[in-house]
């Protein structure tokens, strides 16, 4: 039976497109690569590649075989890495992406706590409101807020947060407290830059209401501060404005019609063998973020 190292060679040839590239990636000689492929073909009694003067092309049988053994080899890698690292301090770098405001407030404290616990780990944090491409940008782990689109990512839901409507007491005294979402038609609402956000949902049935306002901004803090200054009713995650609510700078309105909570996920590229340090950080962040009052 062919050795596991021979199968590693086979996958490398498929992934890199040539024997030469596979040899370079594995740090082996071209002759060693050829011997491994010949060993597999002899054991299986099948041709794995169609050879020309310039390149080798995998046969249909080869591709079918590789599709079956790849998951098993990935499991072997994971098991081997875990066994090796069990009694070894976590080491290496981790690249983490997160939304700016949420990341600064809730991810950074947990990341620094993780680094204090594991002195051999370094972390690069990338803050952005856009959903970065984890695979192409070399991101090990990302924090995502909201519903996840279908993708090639694996996800772990860790918690959810509330969204609230709020305004300054001065504004509400002058213009009245809304009793029903439909009352917003007679109120100034502070809007985000995206016009699609002019539709606000209410309640678990996501009742939709078109809102209007003269002030629009592309920054969450700007919208929140405009509400504090009495320019209208704004909508935001509760974690973002909790200090304003607690201090009495704003009052929450329409609490009985509160929108559905927003999920918080940790995501990473599917099919990739995660280093132990990344798996440890996923578990750490999941536990610590879930413990927050969002």
pLDDT, tens digit, 9 for 90 and up, residues 31-40: 888 888 888 8
Calculate the CA 43 to chain-centre distance: 43
Rounded mean pLDDT, 31-55 = 84
DSSP string, 51-87: E-SS-EEE-HHHHHHHHHHHHHHHHHHHHHHHHHHTT
Q: How sure is the predictor about 1, in pLDDT bands with cuts at 50, 70 and 90?
A: very low
- Which two three-digit tokens encode residue 289? 């973020």
Distances in whole angstroms, Cα of residue 228 to Cα of each of 62, 221, 249:
66, 10, 6
Rounded mean pLDDT, 190-204 = 82
Rounded mean pLDDT, 48-61 = 81
Report pTM.
0.66
Instruction: Domains for the chain: give ranges and CATH numbers.
Output: 4-85 (1.10.10.10), 92-160+262-290 (3.40.190.10), 163-257 (3.40.190.10)
1 three-state secondary structure: coil
- Which two three-digit tokens encode residue 183? 């009352």
Q: How sure is the predictor about 195, in pLDDT bands with cuts at 50, 70 and 90?
A: low
**Mean pLDDT score of the chain:** 88
Read off φ and ψ for residue 176, nearest 5 degrees.
95, 150
The residues that bridge with 93 in the sheet, in sequence order, are 122
């Amino acid at each position: 039976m062919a050795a596991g190292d021979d199968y590693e060679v086979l996958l490398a040839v498929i992934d890199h497109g040539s024997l030469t590239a596979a040899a370079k990636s594995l740090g082996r000689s071209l002759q060693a690569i050829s011997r491994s492929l010949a060993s597999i073909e002899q054991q299986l009694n099948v041709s794995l590649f169609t050879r020309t003067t310039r390149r080798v092309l995998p046969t249909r049988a080869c591709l079918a075989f590789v599709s079956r053994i790849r998951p098993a080899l990935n499991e072997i890698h994971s098991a081997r890495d875990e066994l090796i690292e069990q009694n070894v301090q976590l080491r290496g770098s981790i690249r983490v992406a997160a939304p700016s405001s949420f990341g600064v407030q809730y991810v950074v404290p947990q990341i620094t706590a993780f680094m204090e616990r594991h002195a051999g780990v370094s972390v690069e944090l990338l803050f952005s409101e856009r959903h970065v491409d984890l695979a192409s940008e070399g991101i090990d782990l990302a924090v995502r807020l909201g519903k996840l689109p279908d993708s090639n990512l694996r996800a772990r839901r860790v918690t959810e947060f509330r969204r609230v409507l709020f305004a300054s007491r001065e504004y509400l005294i002058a213009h009245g407290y809304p009793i029903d979402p439909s009352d917003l038609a007679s109120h100034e609402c502070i809007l985000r830059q995206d016009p699609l956000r002019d539709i606000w949902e209410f309640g678990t049935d996501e009742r939709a209401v078109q809102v209007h306002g003269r002030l629009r901004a592309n920054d969450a803090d700007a919208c929140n501060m405009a509400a504090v200054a009495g320019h209208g009713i704004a909508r935001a995650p509760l974690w973002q404005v909790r200090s304003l609510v607690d201090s009495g700078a704003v009052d929450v309105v329409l609490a009985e019609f509160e929108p559905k909570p927003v999920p918080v996920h940790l995501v990473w590229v599917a099919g990739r063998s995660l280093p132990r340090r990344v798996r440890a950080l996923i578990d750490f962040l999941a536990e610590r973020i879930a413990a927050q009052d969002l």
